[in-house]
Structure 1
Amino acid sequence: MGARRRRGERAGLDAGRVLDTAMAMVARDGAGALTMRRLAAELGVEAMTLYHYVPSKQALLDGIVERVVLEAVRVPPDADRWQTMVKTYAYDLREALLAHPSVTPLLATRPALTEATSEAMEGVLEALGRAGLDPVTGLRLLHATTALVIGQVATQEDPSASVGDLTIDPDRFPLLSAAVTGGAADPEARFAFALDALVDGAGRAGR
């Protein structure tokens, strides 16, 4: 005979489904529209029922950020250079945020410090340590890389955001026009350039 449900719980509802629904709502309406009451209505339950699965809205937001970050925090197989690990993390995080663009503002404004993300980051710092980085330098570099990715993803939808909505007159602005038409605003190339500059700079700083 199965375990009896506690009062307020509902068959078929669990923490994973609550988080899935919350992420779908954030993707559809934005994080500002997410409330426990609206989430409960989406799931067809009373708001108090949700507290059997998540203690607060803040914990719910932490769970959303945690899920996306854990898609990126991993140690590359057979990686023995910290540069490779950092770049792999950067590209994985970028891919995760592009898949969940509504989470980018959340990650930018709240630390992803949950037990699960802390455990994952501990593993990455251990790997970076074996490759020659001390924990302080490793964590600083991961924070700088995360900030870089967030900034790049935030402008991904509009590659020309850096020059606004203006039509650039090549006669008046020949250098700016040449830069944009030459691919300076291409998001893929722009990200690769910025990441290379960050990693190369960190390497020189550590010498």
Structure 2
Amino acid sequence: MGGRRTPGQRVGLTREAVLRAALALADREGLKALSMRRLGAELDVEAMTLYHHVPSKDALLDGLVELLVAPIAPPAFETVSWQEGLRAYASQLRTTLLAHPNVISLVATRPAVTAQNLQVMEDALESMRAAGLQPADALDVLYAVTGFVLGHVVTSPDGDPVDQLDGLDPAEYPLLAEAVSKTSPRGTEARFEFALDALLSGLEPNALD
């Protein structure tokens, strides 16, 4: 590999390339390993070069949230209902987060405040307003669905938590043991879909009044 470039040399990097390298590093070694110095080493540039693309560590972390969330934003509800659109959004968000378990906590704790993420939210609210929801209700619905997905992946990132309840003594916990025996074939994904359907049914416009 050639010599290290000078701090001001941009070497053809883009913001997206920096963010994707940061995501790859976090996926491989966790968020604690993510520093500007380490990321610069990954890209074979001085750490200062990265500041041409992300002005701070906070901007880098915000950019990672954008990189994950923005591409799977709720679609325009022109050919499907807003419930169907949000169901697809929730499923895609779950799939994306489970593919990047080391950054789930980042998405859960950092608001989506980059210009791109804010525009994505604006577009989603516009679509939901066109589908009959008021902007305030639409925002609550969007946060409710996103929070539901985050809660699901945080509590069951490695499988079905019900599996941990196998072997309960039915004499001591009769109802819990019965529930586990009857629901265990359902699995994490089916349980997610069941709860998502219940959530979306409760978010019907007449239920929001």
User: Shorter-chain TM-score: what band?
Assistant: 0.7 to 0.9
RMSD between aligned alpha carbons? 2.4
Q: Paired residue for 1:200?
A: 201
What is the Cα deviation at residue 158 of structure 1?
3.5
Q: Per-residue CA shift, 1:25-74, capped at 9, x if unaligned? A: 11112222211111112222221121112101111111110011112104
1:76 Cα offset (Å):
5.1
What is the alpha-carbon distance in structure 2 between the residues aligned to residue 76 and residue 178 of structure 1?
43
Q: Distance in 1 between matches of 2:64 and 2:131?
A: 31
CA distance in 1, matches of 2:25, 2:91: 26
SS in 1 for 2:72: coil
The aligned counterpart of 1:17 is 17
Q: Could you state the TM-score of these two structures normalised by the residue count of structure 2?
A: 0.85
Distance in 2, matches of 1:99 and 1:7, equals: 33
Query: Structure 1, residues 160-189: CA drift from partner, whole Å, max 9, x if none?
Result: 436757742334323222222323572112
Q: Is the 8 A contact 2:76 2:127 kept in 1?
A: no
| Residue pair 1:76, 1:88 contacting (<8 A) in 2 also | no
Q: Confirm whether residue 45 of structure 1 aligns to residue 70 of structure 2.
A: no
More moved, 98-107 vs 164-173? 164-173
Structure 1 alignment gaps of length 5 or more: none
| Pairing 1:121-136 to 2, within 5 Å after superposition | 121-136=121-136
- How far has the Cα of 1:159 moved from its partner? 3.5
Task: Report matched runs for 1:50-129 at 5 Å.
Answer: 50-75=50-75, 78-129=78-129
Residue identity over aligned pairs, in percent, reads 47
Amino acid at match of 1:9: Q
Q: What's the TM-score once normalised by structure 1's chain length? A: 0.86
CA contact (8 A) 2:69 2:93 kept: yes
Count of aligned pairs: 203
Of 121-130 and 143-152, the range deviating more from structure 2: 121-130
**Structure 1 consecutive aligned stretches of length 4 or more whose deviation exceeds 6 Å:** none
Q: Check the 8 A contact 1:85/1:128 in 2, yes or no.
A: no
